[in-house]
Amino acid sequence: MVPLNYIARNLWKRRLTTALTAGGLALVVFVFATVLMLDAGLKRTLVTTGEYDNVVVIRKGSDTEIQSSISRAQANVIEMNAAIAPGADGLPRAAKETVVLISLHRRGSEQPSNVVIRGTSPAGLQLRPQVRMTQGRLFRPGSSEIIAGSSIAKGYDGTRIGERLRFAQREWTIVGIFDAGASGFDSEVWGDADQLMQAFRRVSYSAMVLKLAHGDLLERMRAEIDADPRFSGEVKREQVFYSDQSRSLSTFISVLGLALTAIFSIGATIGAMITMYASVSNRVAEIGTLRALGFRSRSVLAAFLLEALLLGLVGGVIGLAGASVMQLVSFSTTNFQTFADLSFRFLLTAEIAAKTLVFSLLMGFVGGFLPAVRAARLNIVDALRAA
Amino acid sequence: MNAPKLIVRNALRHRLRTGLTVTGLLVAVLAYGLLQTVVDAWYAGAAASSGARLVTRNSISLVFSLPLSYENRIRGVEGVSAVARSSWFGGIYQEPKNFFPQFAVSDNYLSLYPEFILPDAQRAAFLRDRKGALVGRQLAERYGFKVGDALPLRGTIYPGTWEFIVRGIFDGADEGKVTNLLLFHWDYLNETLRKSATLRADRVGVYVVGIDNPDNAAAVSLAVDAVFRNSLAETLTETEQAFQLGFVAMSNQIIAAIRIVSYVVILIIMAVMANTMAMSARERTAEYATLKALGFGPGFLATLIFGESLAICALGGGLGLALTPSAAAAFKSLAGGVFPIFAVSAETLAAQAACALAVGVLAAIVPAVRAARIRVVDGLRALG
């Protein structure tokens, strides 16, 4: 075997070339990693939005809470379903909610974005244990008070504590900021359901959230609701409901990102190949000497492949380091399915880090393979003569 | 000495390396062009919309509708020439992924949109049939709709399955007009709602307002909104273009990301190209010293290096430019109707050419400076 030390020194000897090649690889790795991180962040955000035992009921045929409507009478029927867990007060743990969009201005922007405003009740808050007040207090039921999610408070005008928003002919005071553990609720504004319905002149709720007494009762509840002629509702686990809502956004991000990475990796692999070919042709005499000293052609092949892999690794580590900085940044965009703004973070998981490094090694390997084969095939006598 | 000849010979000395670099440049220029076209496609709807039409919507957000009674009050505002109704339908054709916009519109809607060209016979047939629908050329081609076809949509906002009959196919007046949409009678929607959901009847999603003079757009907008201030449904009126741009702005972080990424691809290829030039120059250190010893100045060496770099970039960039339109056409058909307008603009082609030129120049700077500075004695000693 050719010593590793020798391989590493070759890269060091030609620092500019190594830096340029590794830089190209690093940029590709960076794009690859950030796309995966964005998708992971989106999925994490929507999975944590739902609780496993919680169930969302919407009108059949609608895909989102905003499209759905459930009349007060229907809501009362659903609330009496035996599968719903009773609360400490003996009442069913169910929240009848109204969900609409309002347009708010993003800080420092003239263009409005749609933000979800959710009318809920104390029962609704209990159903989402991940929601904690970080500043101020909860809205008082029966008042024009609202609370804003942490992403909203950061990104939109007029959403700090004490500030007022005007919509639906009323002034609404922000009395608190809540943190929902990096879930989709962070991109929402919450208030009292009855007050919001009154203001928006709505006579029906949008959706219901229920807690099952037991995780297995979902099928029974679905069958009962399907059989009930008074209402045609769709019952879904909260987690499934939210991940369904972002399916097209998630597909869009991963398809676009991976297509880009595929194209870019061609460029970077070509860069690695050029570098490795040059590395071989500069050292023909050296290779001849190594072979004359008794190193087998297999060892020469391995040495050049290792050099290429090391180059890939350097690029991969730099790219990954750059991508991990992106974790500090949050990304917000409109979810095409709900038309509402959703903000989420870049999330670096161990799996993504591993995938990224494998990807960078792969680019190094593909780029280095042909040059290494050329090095291994050199004829000893011809190679020595080149000196 | 003949510099062009030397440049070509130098470029062809390492055919494999030059070939690889040209391929890399080709891929990068192509990718950059496609990404810019994706960004353009995003703005296509807004770019083609008129500044002479206003859109009046509920000021809370688009989710809220406006009462039917507003129509006549808007018509009474000074400067308004026509008012049409339009409601977003949001139906699903077969599968949720088959997304296209559907609007329930009043009969005078088409007269506000002269850029939708429809044969008179089809227009008459549409107006006669309560369940009739009009589809745009792009949409018709996407799903193979023909006049007379039945077209069922599953309502997400308005429950049930809605049956429509295609009565006409309209074309856009120019290439840039998005015709990936379906129009049907607002009256059909409203009459059905009157029977099934009384409370939701007599509501209009947005009013499209035609104005006498496009220069008065701002004044008329303010006048319309003033009529409804402090009413149950306050309005927000803006030009159609601003309305469309509002949609684009909602995904502006995605667009920003695509823009950044399209510059990253140029950076990557710049690294590859700079590497190629740096290696070639290092290998030729002894030659450059020889040329200097023969009396050629640093300017000549710079000409050689810049010439080679630019020649490679011109070749790679030129091939990339030449392939961009056909790659865009392939991408459009692969995307399956997601981008109804996907045409490579002249600006994009110019930007691609500029990028290739910039890569060529930047990649040659460091090697040229090094070659110019080298001392003849050191250079001759170098083994390459």
Residue B384, pLDDT score: 45
Mean pLDDT, chain A, whole residue set: 89
Encoded amino acid at B73, one letter: R
Q: Where are the alpha helices (DSSP H) in chain B?
A: 3-13, 15-47, 70-75, 109-112, 120-128, 137-143, 186-196, 217-227, 240-250, 252-283, 285-293, 298-335, 346-373, 376-381
DSSP symbol at A139: P
d(CA B24, CA A233): 55
CB atoms B272 and A101 under 8 Å = no
Rounded to the nearest angstrom, the minimum Cα separation between A370 and chain B is: 12
Length of chain A as a residue count: 387
- Selected residue of B38, B43, B60, B334 to mutate for chain A interface (largest A Cβ count, 10 A): B60
Chain position carrying tokens 């870019």: A264
DSSP symbol at A138: P
Any idea of the CA torsion for B131, B135, B139, B145, to the nearest 10 degrees? 60
For residue A209, list its beta bridge partners: A56, A95
d(CA B1, CA B300): 10
d(CA B328, CA A334): 26
| pLDDT band per the 50, 70, 90 thresholds, residue B245 | confident
Q: Is the pLDDT of residue B208 over 90?
A: yes
Residues B354-382: tens digit of each pLDDT: 999 999 999 999 899 988 888 888 888 76
Residue A136, pLDDT score: 93
Residue B1, pLDDT score: 56
- A189 or B173, which is more confident: A189
DSSP symbol at A326: G
Contacts of A88 (CB under 8 A, 6+ apart): none
Q: Is the pLDDT of residue B99 over 90?
A: no
Kindly tell me the number of DSSP H helices and DSSP E strands found in chain A.
13, 14
Q: Is the pLDDT of residue B252 over 60?
A: yes
Of A14, A17, A101, the CB nearest to B61: A101
User: Is A103 in contact with A339 (CB distance < 8 Å)?
Assistant: no
Residues A314-331: tens digit of each pLDDT: 999 999 999 999 998 888
A129 burial class (0-12, 13-18, 19+ CB within 10 angstroms)? Answer: exposed
User: Is A240 in contact with A110 (CB distance < 8 Å)?
Assistant: no
Q: What angle do CA A76, A79, A82 make, to 5 degrees?
A: 135
Residues B287-335: tens digit of each pLDDT: 888 888 898 888 888 999 999 999 999 999 999 999 999 988 888 887 7
Q: Is the pLDDT of residue B118 over 60?
A: yes
Please give the residue of chain B at the shortest CA–CA distance from A267. B24
Which CA distances in Å does A88 have to A83, A92, A95, A214, B52?
A: 16, 9, 15, 16, 61
Q: Is the pLDDT of residue A48 over 90?
A: no
User: Is B204 in contact with B70 (CB distance < 8 Å)?
Assistant: yes
Residues A95-117: tens digit of each pLDDT: 999 999 898 888 877 777 889 99
B245 burial class (0-12, 13-18, 19+ CB within 10 angstroms)? Answer: buried
Residues A256-314: tens digit of each pLDDT: 788 888 888 888 888 888 888 888 888 888 889 989 998 998 999 999 999 999 999 99
CB atoms B251 and A101 under 8 Å = no
Mean pLDDT score, B148-154: 93
Mean pLDDT, chain B, whole residue set: 88
Mean pLDDT score, A125-150: 93
Q: What angle do CA A111, A156, B262 make, to 5 degrees?
A: 55
% of residues, chain A, pLDDT over 90: 41
Please give the residue of chain A at the shortest CA–CA distance from B235. A168
Which residues of chain A are within 8 Å of residue B272 when distances are taken between CB atoms?
20-21, 24, 267-268, 270-271, 274
Residue B336, pLDDT score: 65
Nearest to A270, CA basis, from A278, A260, A281, A259:
A278
| pLDDT band per the 50, 70, 90 thresholds, residue B337 | low
Mean pLDDT score, B340-355: 89
Residue A194, pLDDT score: 93
d(CA A198, CA A204): 10
Residues A233-262: tens digit of each pLDDT: 889 999 889 888 888 788 888 887 888 888
Residues B75-84: tens digit of each pLDDT: 999 999 999 9
A36 CB-side CA count, 13 A: 20
Please give the residue of chain A at the shortest CA–CA distance from B273. A271
CB atoms A67 and B274 under 8 Å = no
d(CA B71, CA B235): 12
Of B156, B265, B278, the CB nearest to A63: B156
d(CA B306, CA B318): 17
Mean pLDDT score, B190-201: 89
For residue A190, list its beta bridge partners: A118, A147
User: Is A189 in contact with A152 (CB distance < 8 Å)?
Assistant: yes
Q: In what helix (H) or strand (E) does residue A263 lie, and over which residues does it extend?
A: helix A247-282
Rounded to the nearest angstrom, the minimum Cα separation between B334 and chain A is: 12
d(CA B7, CA B304): 6
Task: Give the global pTM.
Answer: 0.81
What is the SS3 assignment for A214? coil
Residue A178, pLDDT score: 95
Of A60, A100, A282, the CB nearest to B63: A100
Any idea of the CA torsion for B283, B285, B286, B287, to the nearest 10 degrees? 90
CB atoms B267 and A27 under 8 Å = yes
Q: Count of CB contacts below 8 A, A vs B? A: 152
Residues A148-178: tens digit of each pLDDT: 999 999 889 888 999 999 888 889 999 999 9
Strands (E), chain A: 54-59, 70-71, 94-105, 112-120, 132-136, 145-149, 164-167, 170-179, 188-192, 204-205, 207-211, 233-237, 330-334, 341-345
DSSP symbol at A156: B
Of B155, B251, B264, the CB nearest to A333: B251
Of B59, B250, B252, the CB nearest to A114: B250
Tell me what ipTM this predicted complex has.
0.75
Residue B164, pLDDT score: 95
Please give the residue of chain B at the shortest CA–CA distance from A367. B20
User: Is A316 in contact with A268 (CB distance < 8 Å)?
Assistant: no
Instruction: Sort strands A145-149 and A170-179 into parallel, antiparallel or unpaired.
Output: parallel
CB atoms A282 and B283 under 8 Å = yes
Mean pLDDT score, A57-79: 89
Please give the residue of chain A at the shortest CA–CA distance from B34. A260
- A45 or B46, which is more confident: A45
Residue A335, pLDDT score: 81
The b-or-e profile of B182-200 (16+ CB within 10 A means b, else e) is: bbbbbebbbeebeeeeeeb
Q: In what helix (H) or strand (E) does residue B104 lie, and over which residues does it extend?
A: strand B102-105
d(CA A330, CA A99): 24
Neighbours of A108 (CB within 10 A): 7
Contacts of A21 (CB under 8 A, 6+ apart): A271, A272, A274, A275, A311, A315, B271, B272, B275
Nearest to A132, CA basis, from A75, A186, A201, A65:
A186
Q: Is the pLDDT of residue A351 over 50?
A: yes
d(CA B317, CA A163): 54
CB atoms B269 and A267 under 8 Å = yes
| pLDDT band per the 50, 70, 90 thresholds, residue A212 | very high
Rounded to the nearest angstrom, the minimum Cα separation between B338 and chain A is: 11
d(CA A94, CA A124): 7
**Encoded tokens for B267:** 């950076």
Rounded to the nearest angstrom, the minimum Cα separation between A168 and chain B is: 7
Q: Where are the alpha helices (DSSP H) in A50-71?
A: none
B222 CB-side CA count, 13 A: 3
Rounded to the nearest angstrom, the minimum Cα separation between B308 and chain A is: 16
CB atoms A278 and B17 under 8 Å = yes
Which residues of chain A are within 8 Å of residue B266 when distances are taken between CB atoms?
none
CB atoms A100 and B267 under 8 Å = no
Of A27, A101, A248, the CB nearest to B268: A27
Residues B219-231: tens digit of each pLDDT: 999 999 999 988 8
Residue B246, pLDDT score: 79
Contacts of A195 (CB under 8 A, 6+ apart): A119, A141, A142, A143, A144
CB atoms B63 and A331 under 8 Å = no
CB atoms B20 and A168 under 8 Å = no
- Selected residue of B198, B235, B266, B268 to mutate for chain A interface (largest A Cβ count, 10 A): B268
Long-range contacts made by residues B234-238, C-beta under 8 angstroms, separation at least 24?
B234/A169, B234/B58, B234/B59, B234/B60, B235/B56, B235/B57, B235/B58, B235/B59, B235/B66, B235/B70, B236/B56, B236/B57, B236/B58, B236/B59, B237/B54, B237/B55, B237/B56, B237/B57, B237/B209, B238/B54, B238/B55
Rounded to the nearest angstrom, the minimum Cα separation between B188 and chain A is: 20
Chain position carrying tokens 């029974």: A220
Q: What angle do CA A212, A216, A221 make, to 5 degrees?
A: 60
Which CA distances in Å does B357 have to A360, B124, B241, B312, B333?
A: 29, 56, 35, 10, 31
d(CA B156, CA B142): 22
Residue A387, pLDDT score: 56
User: Is A367 in contact with A272 (CB distance < 8 Å)?
Assistant: yes
